[in-house]
């Protein structure tokens, strides 16, 4: 089934400390956002990309779209102060039944996982890619352990996340109305007491957040698996 994808890329990448939006950092000679856009450009099920950007960087993004001949980027939408607002702005430009939200800063997403996710969203209306937590997680206060949290039920949630458009739009409206700030879009759906399905992803689908992530990114790209699909 066809879907459209909203790609938030309007952040400033403070934690990366690269002196520029991390979307423009080069991996194997190409900007991060180009790697991300390529995955969706090449997916036959993707019918359109809504790229959410900072207006000040519009010229830079337009240059890349032209240079790499991206045909599916149907709209550049201005982002907001927070990721949640950026995504909401992007969703308002969508008109497909199923929409995906995927961080511009996650260039290693694989098409096979996108397929699984879309199928799941068709059945459950809301789904997210995630991987089981591998480490032991402890809760602490003032460097004093308070609790060890049972790991078997914990998941590291990533993007893409997929939704029926009507559901995610109401979830964003509901969040605005109740001043609820979520760290991802699925949490806004949860806040409406709607279930979100988990779809197994991959540990290599990292978000480039801090400088050490660039080391992992290099390793992922060098291990053929990084960009190849099943």
- Is the Cβ–Cβ distance between 74 and 52 less than 8 Å? no
Establish if 82 lies at the interface with ligand CTP (CB under 6 A). Answer: yes
Establish if 207 lies at the interface with ligand CTP (CB under 6 A). Answer: yes
Q: Which is nearer to Mg ion, 8 or 31 (CB)?
A: 8
Separation CA 40–CA 100 (nearest Å): 11
Which listed residue (5, 34, 49, 52) binds ligand CTP by CB under 6 A?
Answer: 52
User: Which of the stretches 9-17, 96-104, 126-134, 197-205 binds Mg ion when contact is defined by CB under 5 A?
Assistant: 9-17
Beta strands 126-132 and 98-101 are unpaired
Which of ligand CTP, Mg ion, none lies near 103, with the C-beta cut-off 5 to 8 A by kind?
A: ligand CTP
User: Which of the stretches 7-15, 16-24, 45-53, 130-138 binds Mg ion when contact is defined by CB under 5 A?
Assistant: 7-15
Angle at 25 between CA 115 and CA 55, to 5 degrees: 85
Which listed residue (83, 113, 164, 194) binds ligand CTP by CB under 6 A?
Answer: 83
The DSSP secondary-structure symbol of 126 reads E
Q: Name, in order, each residue with C-beta under 8 angstroms of 139's C-beta and a sequence gap of 6 or more.
A: 145, 146, 147, 148, 149
Q: How far is CA 58 from the centre of its chain?
A: 20
Residue 131, CA atoms < 13 Å, CB-side half-sphere: 13
For residue 39, the minimal CB distance to ligand CTP (Å) is: 14
Which listed residue (105, 129, 162, 188) binds ligand CTP by CB under 6 A?
Answer: 105
Binding site residues, Mg ion, CB under 5 A: 11
Binding site residues, ligand CTP, CB under 6 A: 8-16, 22, 52, 79-83, 86, 103-105, 207, 209
């Amino acid at each position: 089934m066809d879907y459209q994808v909203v790609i938030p890329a309007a952040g400033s990448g403070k934690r990366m400390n690269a002196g520029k939006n991390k979307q423009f950092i080069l991996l194997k000679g190409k900007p991060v956002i180009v790697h991300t856009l390529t995955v969706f450009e090449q997916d036959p099920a993707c019918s359109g990309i809504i790229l959410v950007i900072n207006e000040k960087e519009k010229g830079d993004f337009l240059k890349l779209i032209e240079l790499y001949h991206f045909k599916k980027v149907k709209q550049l939408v201005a982002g907001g102060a927070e990721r949640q607002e950026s995504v909401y702005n992007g969703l308002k430009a969508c008109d497909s039944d199923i929409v995906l939200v995927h961080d511009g800063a996650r260039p290693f997403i694989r098409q096979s996982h996108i397929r699984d996710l879309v199928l799941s969203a068709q059945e459950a209306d809301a789904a997210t890619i995630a991987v089981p937590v591998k480490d032991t997680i402890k809760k602490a206060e003032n460097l004093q352990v308070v609790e060890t949290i049972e790991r078997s039920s914990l998941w590291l949630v990533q993007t893409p996340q997929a939704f029926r458009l009507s559901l995610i739009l109401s979830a964003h409206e509901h969040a605005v109305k109740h001043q609820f700030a979520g760290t991802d879009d699925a949490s806004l759906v949860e806040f409406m007491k709607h279930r979100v399905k988990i779809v197994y992803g991959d540990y290599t689908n990292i978000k480039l957040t801090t400088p050490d992530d660039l080391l992992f990114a290099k390793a992922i790209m060098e291990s053929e698996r990084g960009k190849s699909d099943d």
